[in-house]
């Protein structure tokens, strides 16, 4: 299906358009007089009806991820899930260790959380990736200590799309008795995540990254009864005492439907976006001097990060504002003058660093959309070159 809106939207790593099936399911439960009640109000029939909807959604999500239903904790999204995972674990188990390991290319939700823990007396080791944007398992093995409590490593980088060696790191962490947290915001729904096969202890995701609603996500806590976390907020004891507050039934339904829909379409969607990314790189590279950050064989087909020689990212984004919606750096750092911490960690510097932009694709894009994007980028670059000639 060809996208007809203008500007053409190529910022799906920031958020995706809600799928019609998801919207229909949410509206059904939002306007249903039989299921509008508070799911925590178990003393009456309407409350129990709403609760049953939540629990069906929880089971649906658990089946897709390969975990137990009571290991799925609903949150407002991956940022909150990351904070509960890191802070909740560190504060609850500080007597077992006060050392954490992460990387310099994590999302700000993880890096800022780690920084806050350092202020509270925890020690964090930040690992640099190699020039491919890949955190080598051997580097993690080299910094493991007897007091290491947790390794936190994202599945797929939100800026470059580089996919990390999660299976190898999970096996390494399990072998050494260290817990593993994975931020799967850019991976859930797009790639198969089976917690029966990969020993990940804590997994974060957001619905709006795979055509679900904003404002809802979850944290999977494996072996929740043994792995106790400290809540960040206190209240009515919802979500097994870990995340209090009235549950938004319709959003939770949206999360479950979006994840199931993504699973049903996963292989077809991967094939489609792989073709889109290949077409984009080949077409643009044949006409302009382009440098790709994150080799395609290492990266998600949903994301491409690149620089064009002599072209600044902010200037290019501004030139294209009426034609294309693309990102300069990560979505959470857009609007600042700080260059990408991810690319800098990969050794990218100078004009190349300040010229990096990101396009991200989804199943709604077509080859025609991508061809149009290439034409618009080439035209914008030619205009900018003429102005500086």
Set 67, 113, 114, 332: catalytic member: 332
Give CA angle at 13 (373, 202), nearest 5°: 160
Between CA 339 and CA 351, with CA 345 as vertex, the angle to 5 degrees is: 45
Q: Please tell me whether residue 123 adopts helix, strand or coil conformation.
A: strand
How many angstroms separate the CA atoms of 20 and 171, rounded? 39
For β-strands 217-221 and 202-206, DSSP reports them as: antiparallel
Other Cβ atoms closer than 10 A to 111? 19
Alpha-carbon separation of residue 37 from 33, 70, 86, 246 (angstroms) = 8, 21, 32, 10
- Listed in sequence order, the DSSP H helices in the chain are 20-30, 45-65, 78-92, 108-119, 137-143, 166-175, 249-285, 313-319, 341-345, 350-354, 367-388
Distance of CA 188 to the CA centre of its chain: 7
Q: What is the 3-state secondary structure (H, E, C) of 139-191?
A: HHHHHCCCCEEEEECCCECCCCCEECCHHHHHHHHHHCCCEEEEECCCCECCE
What CA–CA distances, in Å, run from 363 to 201, 312, 359? 30, 29, 14
Can 332 be counted among the known catalytic residues? yes
The span from the CA of 83 to the CA of 103, in Å, is 16
* Burial of 265: CB neighbours in 10 Å, binned 0-12, 13-18, 19+: middle
Closest by CA position to 307, among listed 283, 291, 327, 323: 291
Residues 293-312: b if buried by 16+ CB within 10 A, e if exposed:
bbeeeebbbbbbbbbbeebb
Active site members: 332
């Amino acid at each position: 299906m060809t996208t007809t809106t203008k500007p053409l939207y190529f910022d799906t790593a920031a958020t995706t358009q809600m799928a019609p099936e998801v919207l229909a399911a949410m509206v059904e439960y939002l306007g249903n007089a039989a299921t509008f009640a508070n799911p925590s109000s178990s003393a009456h029939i309407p409350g129990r009806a709403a609760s049953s909807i939540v629990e069906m959604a929880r089971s649906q999500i658990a089946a897709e991820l390969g975990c137990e239903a009571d290991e799925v904790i609903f949150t407002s999204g991956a940022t909150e899930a990351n904070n509960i995972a890191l802070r909740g674990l560190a504060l609850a188990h500080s007597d077992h260790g006060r050392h954490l390991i992460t990387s310099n290319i994590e999302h700000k939700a993880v890096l800022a959380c780690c920084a806050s823990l350092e202020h509270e007396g925890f020690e964090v080791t930040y690992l640099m990736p190699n020039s491919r944007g890949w955190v080598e398992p051997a580097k993690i093995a080299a910094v493991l200590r007897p007091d290491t409590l947790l390794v936190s490593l994202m599945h797929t980088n939100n800026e470059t799309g580089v996919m990390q060696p999660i299976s190898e790191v999970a096996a390494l962490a399990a072998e050494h008795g260290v817990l593993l947290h994975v931020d799967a915001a850019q991976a859930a729904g797009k790639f198969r995540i089976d917690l029966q096969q990969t020993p990940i202890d804590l997994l974060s995701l957001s619905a709006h990254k795979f055509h679900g609603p904003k404002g809802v996500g979850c944290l999977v806590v494996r072996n929740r009864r043994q792995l106790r976390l400290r809540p960040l907020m206190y209240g009515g004891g919802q979500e097994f005492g870990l995340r209090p507050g009235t549950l938004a039934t319709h959003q939770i339904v949206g999360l479950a439907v979006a994840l199931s829909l993504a699973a049903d379409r996963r292989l077809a969607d991967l094939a489609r976006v792989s073709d889109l990314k290949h077409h984009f790189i080949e077409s643009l590279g044949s006409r302009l001097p382009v440098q790709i950050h994150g080799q395609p064989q290492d990266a998600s087909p949903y994301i491409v990060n690149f620089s064009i020689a002599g072209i600044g990212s902010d200037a290019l984004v501004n030139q294209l504002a009426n034609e294309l919606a693309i990102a300069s750096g990560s979505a959470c750092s857009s609007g600042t003058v700080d260059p990408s911490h991810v690319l800098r960690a990969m050794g990218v510097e100078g004009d190349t660093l300040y010229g990096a932009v990101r396009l991200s694709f989804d199943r709604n894009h077509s080859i025609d959309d991508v061809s149009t994007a290439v034409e618009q980028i080439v035209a914008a670059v030619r205009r900018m070159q003429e102005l500086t000639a």
